[in-house]
Every structure is written in C-alpha cells, then in structure tokens.
A and B are shown apart, each in its own frame.
Chain A
Amino acid sequence: MKIVGLESLIFGVDDVRGAARFLVDYGLTPVDVSDRRGRFEAIDGTAVVIARQDDPALPPGPVPGCRLRKTVMGVADDATLGAIAAELRRDREVRRLPDGSIESIDDSGFVIGFQLAARRPFVLAGEISNAPGGVVFRPINSLGVPPPGSVIRPRSLSHVVYFVPDVVKAEAFYVNRLGFRCTDRFTGTGPFLQPGGSLDHHTHFLIGAPPHMHGVEHFTFHFGGPSEMITNGYRFVEKGYQAFWGPGRHILGSNWFWYFNSPFGCHIEMDADMDQHDASWQPREATVSADNSQTFLLKMRKKWYPGPGIPENGDYA
C-alpha cells in the first residue's frame, strides 16, 4: 500500500486565535483562517488544521482529553485508496467523504483519513556541510548560519506520536492492515513505523502507556537542516514559547529535535535531517532512556568568554 505519509493533523482547540498565532510563530503559513477554524501549511502544503473544539464537523478524539481529532494520510494513487477501503471494510465502517477521501478509525480509537497525496513538489537545497574531502559544498560566499531576519519555514509534516493503551494491537493494525514497516523499536515502549510509500525513518511512533495517558505525545514538521531548525527554535523561545527538551539529536532516526509545549494538549517538535531507510533495513531494538534517545543535547551559553562582569570561569562559576 503506497501511503506516502502524513497529509494533515486536525485539532479541536478552545482558543482558535491563540493556537493560530502559535502555529504562525512556529513558521507555518496560514490559509483560510477565521475565528472558528484555520489551516496552517508547510512549504509542500501538508498542514495542521484547527477548529473550535465544539465544531460539529470535528470527529471525536480517542478520549475526551485528547485534542487531536483526526490524522489524515496521503496515498499515491486511487488503487491504494481503494485497497485501504476494502481492507478496513472487512471489520469496520469506512466513510467516503464529499472531498473524495475516506475516513475510518484505527485500533486505538484515533480517527484516520486517507486522501490522494496533495503535496506540492518543490526544490530547495537542504543544509550542506563544508567538509574537507567532501563532494558537495555550499556555494562559495553563502552562509551556513541563517542570517537574522531570514525566513525559515517548515518543509513537510513529519510524524505523529501516539500514546496507546495496547501497543501490540496498535502496531498490528498499522503493520498488518496498512502495510507499515517497523524501522526501529524501543523495547517495551513501542515501534517507529514507516508507511510503504515513504523512506522516512518514521511517520508514526507508538508508545504503550496507561489508559489515562491515551492521546498524543507530539507531532512535528521537517525543517531544512539543524542550523535552520535550531535558529527557528531560538526565535520561537524569544517570542515567549516554552521549550521542553532540546535542541538535540536522536539516535534512532538521527533526527535533530527540539520539543515545545503547545495549546494542543501535546508537545510540538521541530525536526531536521531524519534517516531514510528502505526494505533492506534491519530494525534495531534499544531500551528507552534519555541516554538512548539523545545522542547529544545542546545548551546555549550566554557568557562564554572572560570579560567585564563575567566570572573567571564564565558560566561554570
């Protein structure tokens, strides 16, 4: 099944205006925003959609406290759309919506939708490192650090992380029914999952958790590279948003990360430079711990040289 990845995530919120400002400050482009709803797109058109939590058009979340109401995936062709509908109709309702997409529910209670992938192709070089002996270099006189005021935009909706009460059952649904592959696994926690039409290390990560945590841990967009992502994160912090963990780099998936609190009842992440794998990749297994999920964690040092008003040991004093 050629599911190519996440197309949009739909949230019900209690403060549309505040959530809209949050997403714009994160870097997304507002499209059709009103007091009741709004769509916020990355460069390729993948998006977060928000609506007032009492909007009757919103499907229910898996549990009352969960603000994520629907996860929409893009598929490569009509054949895949038909195959998914036929597969899911074997044991559950599948609705065809007026826009041609289909809607159903996964085995953990998350409403899922499938539509023909509508991502806009674009060409925009990612971050390039000037490494002695390397093959690809940045153009001469171009800068590695994004200059102040430069526009930084998320490129594509990357992944969503669910807390699920029965992780074995949840994984089986995506693997056996929708053709996802496990790329890596945290023992006793859950799998990183890649759909059949994507090379990304994961578009979904499942975390087994007690029923009262059922919901979403985070979601994220890919940025053009670590420098861009971290610069965007510092700008976000300067606007008053609350960082949670990062910036750092994960081991499984190699993606750079920075997590922030959000008005969506879950974290939002910024990520960059995730590994890509094909079917020849052998999944690794690791125990979950901070040591196994961050290869390094960066900390900004405001005072780094001895000087007036700064103790001899700088920040270490």
Chain B
Amino acid sequence: MATTREAVPASWVHLCRADEIGEAQSRGFDADAEGQDSLFVVRWQGRLHGWRNACPHIGGAPMAWRRDAYLNAEGTRIVCHAHGAEFMPDTGLCVQGPCRGERLSRIELVVDTDGELFVKS
C-alpha cells in the first residue's frame, strides 16, 4: 500500500503519476534500467500495491504475458503467465498453482503530495 510523504529523497525512483494506474489495472516498471521490468504495481480496491516481478515458483521468473499484463481478465488475481500461478493482489499470497502458499515480495511505494508515485531504492 502506498503511503504519502511531503518530499522524497532524490535517490528514490519516480515511476509515474499514481492516478495513471486505474482500478484492477497493472503496470510494470524497469526501475533498475536493465531492459526488463523489475517490479509492477497493481491497484486493487482503490489501493496501490508494488511487487517484485519475480515469481516464487522459479526464482526471478518474469510474470507478465505482455508488457503490463500481470492480472487475469477480471482483474481479481495477479497471474504468473509462466505456469499460471495466481496471487492475491493485496497480500501477494499464491492461492492457486505451483507455488501455492508462497508470496510475492513487496516493494514499498510512496505517493508524494503531488500524486507522483515513487519506489524506494
């Protein structure tokens, strides 16, 4: 869940405007500039959640099937499109598939008073 701060340290990485990610939408970010999205953000029941783009089934496996496509069609689950593991968007808990019971690793997000979304780094 994103928390709000007045100002953010210069080292934090700017992602986008927080309101660019609508309800039940997801977006990936190449925050480490490595040519591969290292994290993604989903909005679920109004709140933003950041997750490392690394499936617990196979350490480090990227999860989207197309750029920014991390969710099922209804937007109710995060899906790893390698072998179909399904995760709760708010807790990161795997509820179906090969890594059931394991969790995604959370990325701490910050929204500043101007509504810009950052990730700590």
Binding site for B on A (CB under 8 A): 14-15, 18, 22, 64-67, 209-210, 212-213, 215, 217, 239-242, 244, 260-263, 265-267
Contact = CB atoms under 8 A, between A and B. Distances in A.
Contacts of A239: 66
Interface magnitude class on chain B: 20 to 34
B22 interface: no
Contacts of A260: 65
A192 B63 CA distance: 27
A265 B73 CA distance: 13
23 contacts: A18-B66, A22-B66, A65-B96, A65-B97, A209-B98, A212-B97, A212-B98, A213-B97, A215-B83, A217-B83, A239-B66, A241-B65, A241-B66, A242-B63, A242-B67, A242-B81, A244-B61, A263-B65, A263-B69, A265-B83, A265-B84, A266-B84, A267-B82
A242 B64 contact: yes
A65 B86 contact: yes
Contacts of A240: 66-67
Contacts of B34: none
B17 interface: no
B62 A261 contact: yes
A261 B98 contact: no
Contact of B74 (A14, A241, A265): A14
- Among all A-B residue pairs, the 6 with the closest Cβ atoms: A265-B84, A240-B67, A261-B81, A14-B73, A15-B73, A213-B98
Given A242-B63, A262-B65, 13 more contacts: A14-B73, A18-B66, A212-B98, A213-B83, A215-B84, A217-B83, A239-B66, A240-B66, A242-B67, A244-B61, A261-B63, A261-B80, A266-B84
B83 A262 contact: no
Contact of B62 (A64, A244, A263): A244
Contacts of A217: 83
B100 interface: yes
Scoring A210, A239, A260, A261 by chain B CB atoms within 10 A of each residue's CB, the highest score goes to A261
Contacts of A261: 62-65, 80-82
B100 A212 contact: yes
B38 interface: no
A242 B82 CA distance: 9
A313 B63 CA distance: 32
Contacts of B83: 213, 215, 217, 265-267
A228 B39 CA distance: 32
Given A15-B73, A212-B100, A242 B86 contact: no
A263 B64 CA distance: 9
B73 A18 contact: yes
Contact of A263 (B67, B81, B100): B81
Scoring B66, B73, B74, B97 by chain A CB atoms within 10 A of each residue's CB, the highest score goes to B66
B4 interface: no
A262 B66 CA distance: 8
A209 B65 CA distance: 23
B14 to A, nearest CB: 22
Given A65-B97, A212-B97, A242-B81, A14 B72 contact: yes
Nearest to B63: A261
A242 B79 CA distance: 13
A215 B81 CA distance: 13
B7 to A, nearest CB: 33
Nearest to B72: A14
A274 B80 CA distance: 29
A18 B81 CA distance: 13
A265 B83 CA distance: 5
A94 B69 CA distance: 39
A261 B82 CA distance: 5
A196 B67 CA distance: 41
B27 to A, nearest CB: 12
Given A240-B67, A242-B62, A242-B66, A262 B98 contact: no
